[in-house]
Homo-oligomer: A and B are copies of this chain.
Amino acid sequence: MNQIIPTPSLKRLPMYYRELIRAIDSGIRYMNSSQLGKVLGIPSTQVRKDLSYVADQGRPGVGYNTRSLADTLENFLGLPQPKNAVLAGVGNLANALILFPGFRHYGIHILYLFDNDPGKIGQELAGRPIYDIHDMAEIIHEQHIPIGIISTPSAAAQQVADTMIEGGVKSIWNFAPITVHATRNVFVLNQDLTVEMAILSFSTLHSDE
């Protein structure tokens, strides 16, 4: 349980967590690796291997206690710990992200919004004031904000990321369709929806083959 977890396994843990929460909400108290794998399309051997990095084995013939395993995963992923975030680039995507119900459940609180448009600065979105992007590094630094979310156009994204890093964020979630690079030890998650669009395009045209 003290080994370093491989990245592909780490990426599957949130899916197990999500399915366990759904199971708990349905009153299911035990699930084995086959049941957990089936809903996700992951082989049971892989499920057991992934979970072995963070939890004890389930009881033979009974499986994992859903509540106990969900708690273990929740703590391993740090979900109960509140993590504040800033968001730069206030448009429709920002609007959707701010109102996305998931954030709060995952401990991520978007506290400050930034933009460079004088028409937006000083306004509010979803109850949060919009600040001048020129003040972003200072606010991140003073408030010890660990997460930066980027929903600017791609031309601005790298510079915005650099400013967030200058302020001291520990991780960046970039939604601009460009690969943002980080200097220093900052985790960057590039979420380029246009890559998925292209895969969707290809798959739509080839699904009969």
Contact = CB atoms under 8 A, between A and B. Distances in A.
Given A41-B181, A207-B171, A207-B185, A198 B106 contact: yes
Interface residues of A, number: 64
Q: Count the copies.
A: 2
A147 B207 CA distance: 11
A91 B201 CA distance: 24
A40 B6 CA distance: 22
A1 interface: no
Interface in A9-60: 10-11, 13-15, 17-19, 22, 39-41
B11 A199 contact: yes
Given A102-B197, A179-B40, A204 B78 contact: yes
22 contacts: A19-B179, A40-B179, A77-B201, A78-B201, A83-B204, A93-B100, A95-B96, A96-B97, A102-B197, A103-B197, A106-B194, A106-B198, A106-B200, A107-B201, A147-B204, A170-B208, A171-B200, A171-B203, A173-B200, A185-B207, A187-B207, A191-B193
A81 B78 CA distance: 44
A203 B178 contact: no
A76 B202 contact: yes
A142 interface: no
A195 B15 contact: yes
A108 interface: yes
**At the interface, is chain A mostly helix, strand, loop or mixed?**
helix
Interface of A: 10-11, 13-15, 17-19, 22, 39-41, 76-79, 81, 83, 91-93, 95-97, 99-100, 102-103, 105-108, 146-147, 154, 170-171, 173, 177-179, 181, 185-187, 189, 191-208
Nearest to A207: B170
A179 B202 CA distance: 21
